[in-house]
Every structure is written in structure tokens, then in C-alpha cells.
Amino acid sequence: MYKLGWFSTARGKGSRGLLKAVQASIASGELDARIEFFFCSRDPGEAETTDTTLQMVRDYNIPLVTFSYQKFKAKVGATSPGSETGELAEWRLAYDREVMARLKDFNPDLCVLAGYMLIVGKEMCQKYNMINLHPASPTGPAGTWQEVIWKLIETDARESGVMMHLVTPELDRGPVVTYCTYPIRGKPFDPYWIDIKKQSLAQVKKEQGENNPLFKTIREQGYVRELPLIITTIKAFSEGRVKITADKKVVDAHGRAIHGYDLTAEINERVKGLLPA
């Protein structure tokens, strides 16, 4: 059985929804896997929404490990996680070392970052194969999902996507692991593209912001694919269709290096009927 490690700050319903979806896929037999541990960077009692998630973890009988980032930060009197060289400060690396010490009895095949609001240091990246979601295609923009969508509109892009990438100390810069793409032209996008060209993008951002129909439609098409991509990625790993080598290269079932495993066809089947054509 494929063993998963789960890292989360457990700030809200999004991370709970992901945990629930993966557990449902495990329970149904779709995923031949188990979550070996759930690590949270908050302790019980720090936030009500986090406590709700931690109770869900207990209800699933998943081993729970917590270690408060904020308490550790206060204890060492730190003000910034960075250093003059741009790398993580020594106290942040010390936090990661303590996390790894608390997880020493677990041996996950793959770790999923699910709303984990910390940059992971190089030592932890080396120890674990960790993957994270980025709301763009492998050739798409960097940044938050909002920044990605505005950049797509600004550059008259024709497609977008969602990808999982290997976690590295450089934020959102790790090798692409899996991805799916979708068009942002044709139905239902074209009328919105016509409308948005009638005024400057700066004006659209100021007057409509994220309520702009094109912005909202791109977001809807991406959001509906995020959970399916994560589940299908775990399934692809558990079936050996995609792997991460000891030197952190992404390869296919035959050991050939790849720039991401394309799951577009499988994701399209999963989301069929969830959104208007």
C-alpha cells in the first residue's frame, strides 16, 4: 500500500475538503494508499478552524503530529524566516529539523503539501519527496492564482492549466510532476474576451476586479480541476506511472525523464458535466 505524508497549516475548509476527498478515494478503493501521518504547523487550541481539521484527522484515525511554527518563532525571538543570502534563516532550518525528528518513525513514499503555509527548507526537501499544487500549466505564469489569471488575460493566452510540482527551497520553482491543461478560448470564454478588450485592464481591475466574468470563468475552470488533479496524481504515483528518483528527477514508468506527466485526458473525464461547455 502506498504511504502518504500530509503537511498542512489547516487554516480552513479548503484543506479539509482535500483531506476528505482523498480519504473518500482511499475508502472507495480508487486509491491503494493510506495517509501515514498528518503534520500540522499549528498546535491544538491555536485556531478554531484548525481544531476542526485536527478533529477530522482523529476521526479518520490518522496519526497526528503537531508543532507550532508561531510558538517556535516566538521562543527563538525571530522576526524573519529569511537571511541576507535569500536562503532560510538558521532558526527556520532548526524548525524543519525538529519537524523531521518528530516524524522519524514514519517512512512516506510521497508527501502532499495541502495548505502548508511555510516554505520548506533544503534539508526537508532532500529527505522527503514533497509535491504541491500550482494553479497554472507548466508553461504558464508564476504567482498566486489571482496573479496567474490576470497575467493570462494580459498576455491574451489561449490555454491555462493546473500542475503539481516537486517542492524545492525556491518557491514554486520545483520540477513539474503532473499537470492538466484546458482552453480559455471558445465557449464560454469568447464573449468575455470581447468585452474585456473594450477597456483597459487597469480599469477592469479597478472597477470589477475578481468579479469580471472572464476572470471568474477562468478561475472556475481551473478550480474544478484542482482536487481531481491531486487525487489522480496520487493514483499515478501509487501505480508507478510517475516516479521521483533519488536525485529528485521526475521520470515515467520506464525511468525516462519527463517534464511532467500529462493527466489532461483523465482530468477531463473527471470534470465532465461539472461546468457548462
What pLDDT is recorded for position 273? Answer: 79
Beta bridge partners of 262: 179
Give the model's pLDDT for residue 277.
Answer: 57
Work out how many domains the chain is built from and give that number.
2
Q: Name the pairing type of β-strands 261-262 and 250-252.
A: unpaired
pLDDT of residue 171: 62
> Cβ distance 196 to 152 under 8 Å?
no
117 plus 160 within the same structural domain: no
Domain end, chosen from 128, 144, 175, is at: 128
Looking at the structure, tell me whether residues 174 and 238 fall in a common domain: yes
* 9 and 119 part of one domain: yes
- For each of the chain's 277 residues, which pLDDT tens digit applies? 999 999 999 998 888 999 999 999 999 999 999 999 999 999 999 999 999 999 999 999 999 999 999 999 999 988 777 654 557 889 999 999 999 999 999 999 999 999 999 989 999 999 999 999 999 999 999 888 999 999 999 999 999 999 999 998 776 568 999 999 999 999 999 999 999 999 899 999 999 999 999 999 999 999 999 999 999 999 999 999 999 999 999 999 999 999 999 999 999 999 987 776 5
Query: 120 and 153 share a domain?
Result: no
Assess whether 115 and 144 both reside in one domain.
Answer: no
Look up the domain containing 177 and give its range.
Answer: 136-277
CATH assignment at residue 52:
3.40.50.170
My answer on whether 230 and 103 are in the same domain is no
